[in-house]
Amino acid sequence: MTDYLKEPQRLFDIKGKVAVVTGASGAFGAVAAKVLAGAGARVVLAAGNAKDLAETAAECKAFGAEVESVCRRPNTEADCEAIMDAAVAKFGRVDILVVGSGMNDVSPIVDMSPERFATVMEANVTGSWLIAKAFGKRAIAQGGGGKVVLMSSARAKLGHPAGYSAYCSSKAAVEGITKALGCEWGKYGITVNAIAPTVFRSKLTAWMFEDNEKATAVRNGFLARVPLGRLGEPEDLAGPLLFLVSKASDFYTGHTIDADGGYTAG
């Protein structure tokens, strides 16, 4: 019997690991940052909103975590290099990358300009690719493997009638990157996976949880196809995330966990 069978909780131990989180002031990024900090990781938080970034950093420090903040988005190769350089300068290495940055822009395709479409693709696809590249350069060079978690969505698999042509396309591409890098980096012991939530509680979705006629109608329509019968909570993402960044997922790569209450199962 191995030590992990005697103490299976050790499979999820990430104490002392260096985790870089982009979009750390956003809905998923802030959840990820606090989960990793609470689990004992040393966290490097990157985001473009200085005020919100400082708030997330303070919450992580309240858990006793070592924190480095970088007020940059992964918009360019230079930004991504700077984020990773800051992590290495502070902590000496990188072990985990969680990409929480991204955006949506809702519009019927006939009304959407190519520039708006490109902006969504750059934020969700190119940004993910660039920051993964910057992480990979350092993780490969230092050895010892690594963990990458990208941010997908139920919309990578399903369309939407309200003008999601850019967003759906971008998240499908993120899942393509996940599969490609999962194959490419397997020989280095670097796993690459994604989490695909549907609606979960955040500042952006708070209105859907309200007790009024509009919210109730939208919520009930949505929940009609969610087998678990409720909207998501931040803690619903914590478990899949901790699995994907820990030793528990060492034989799991190139995949997407659909943390959606069964929404995409039907």
Query: What amino acid positions are annotated as catalytic residues?
Result: 167
DSSP string, the chain: --HHHH-GGGGG--TT-EEEEESTTSHHHHHHHHHHHHTT-EEEEE-S-HHHHHHHHHHHHHTT--EEEE---TTSHHHHHHHHHHHHHHHS---EEEE---------GGG--HHHHHHHHIIIIIHHHHHHHHHHHHHHHH-S-EEEEEE--GGGTS--TTT-HHHHHHHHHHHHHHHHHHHHTGGGTEEEEEE---SBSSTTTGGGGSSSHHHHHHHHHHHTT-TT-S-B-THHHHHHHHHHHSGGGTT--S-EE--STTTTT-
